[in-house]
Amino acid sequence: MALDPQVAAILQQSAANPDAPTIADLPPEGGRAMYRAMSEMFDLQDVPIGKIEDRKIPGPAGEIPIRVYTPVAAGATPLPCLVFYHGGGFVIGDLETHDGACRALCNASGCLLIAVDYRLAPEHVFPAAVEDSFAALQWVAEHAAGLGVDPNRIAVGGDSAGGNLSAVVSQLARDNDGPAVAFQLLIYPATDADVDTPSKKENAEGYFLEQKTMDFFYGNYVPAGTDRTDPRLAPMQTADLSGLPPAYIVTAQFDPLRDEGRMYGEKMRAAGVPVEIVNYETMIHGFLTMGGIVDAVKPAIEAAGKAVKKALS
């Protein structure tokens, strides 16, 4: 199947200016600024929401900013909760780059959505993002009553690097006797930096996330000498995936990460974990935050939200 026409138009516009720098050509702060500017153009804007509150919570190396979204049609408390980790290769991305998508996902899921602004590399290399992400999950579980959250209905979710972190904290919660995670929403997750897949070859260039960009992200995030089979970096390397929460995995056909998302889902399924894998055959990596200009994104967010709502009902 061909690319979505609106996605193709975005890629064609980018290809028309081959001399323009990409995120991988810039220093990290420059890449962050570029990503924020892109989100202002691409992400959903002015999505109605019940309430938003920015807070800071204790973390292992200082305060962690979070953003708490209450859905428009919030039911009686306690509400289910989705702890959300943004994408951006562990180097870029923040609460603003994913604000529109988080609003839409909050409303679609009926959850109190808590977005986590974990530390970024290269200022804070692996495993800083993992430590912040797990600490935030623990904080939510410990403060569930004050948040109006049902501690038995907490899900984790995220896109790309955030999908990686969602998978990792699910494993950490299983292996450390909690917090209880009821569901995983993994949107084109990175699950193994070094796995060799057909999708990485097919989509290495020209589809937004390129091989050079992935090399840039991992080069900034992973210190030299790190064991790249560490499950906190590559959750697919975990030998035993049994006992993990059910998962809804989103992949995109024109995404280098397509196959590793599917493979992780299949490995969980083989271990007895209920898994649904949905591949969007006309989409590219990063489409979650393109809902302002790509019509097909809103139904995809709705479907993901409904999956979370069903799992937590």
Q: Which residues does the annotation mark as catalytic? A: 160, 255, 285
| 3 state SS for the chain | CCCCHHHHHHHHHHHCCCCCCCHHHCCHHHHHHHHHHHHHHHCCCCCCCCEEEEEEEEEECEEEEEEEEECCCCCCCCEEEEEEECCCCCCCCCCCCCHHHHHHHHHHHCCEEEEECCCCCCCCCCCHHHHHHHHHHHHHHHCHHHHCEEEEEEEEEEECHHHHHHHHHHHHHHHCCCCCCCEEEEECCCCCCCCCCHHHHHCCCCCCCCHHHHHHHHHHHCCCCCCCCCCCCCHHHCCCCCCCCCEEEEEEEECCCHHHHHHHHHHHHHCCCCEEEEEEEEEECCHHHHCCCCCCHHHHHHHHHHHHHHHHC
Cα–Cα distance measured from residue 251 to residue 279, given in angstroms and rounded to the nearest whole number: 5
Residue 260, both tokens: 């590793």
Cα–Cα distance measured from residue 194 to residue 257, given in angstroms and rounded to the nearest whole number: 11
Cα–Cα distance measured from residue 142 to residue 308, given in angstroms and rounded to the nearest whole number: 21
Cα–Cα distance measured from residue 133 to residue 300, given in angstroms and rounded to the nearest whole number: 25
Going from the C-alpha of 187 to that of each of 160, 162, 266, 311, the distances in angstroms are: 6, 8, 15, 16
